[in-house]
Structure 1
Amino acid sequence: MRPSFDAENEFITLLHCLDPVRIELNLLENEVRGSGII
């Protein structure tokens, strides 16, 4: 069993957990920028 592989898996899992939050933040940011332009 390679510890590096385990760490990599945990890192990928963490990224997947954070992804929806990042998408939400991007959507909010785009809305703010859009309303600021109009």
Structure 2
Amino acid sequence: MRPSFDADNEFITLLHCLDPVRIELNWLENEVRA
């Protein structure tokens, strides 16, 4: 098992966790600009 593979997995998991947050932030930004 390569350590880099583990790191990649954690990174992808982190991205999935942050995705809804980014969408929420984009929505808030659009609301402010509208």
TM-score, reference length from structure 2: 0.92
- Aligned-pair RMSD on alpha carbons? 0.4
For structure 1, the 5+ residue unaligned runs are: 34-38
Higher CA-based Rg: 1
For structure 2, the 5+ residue unaligned runs are: none
Aligned residue pairs total 33
- Identity value in percent: 94
TM-score, reference length from structure 1: 0.83
State the distance in 2 between where 1:15 and 1:2 align: 21
Q: Cα distance, 1:18 vs. partner?
A: 0.4
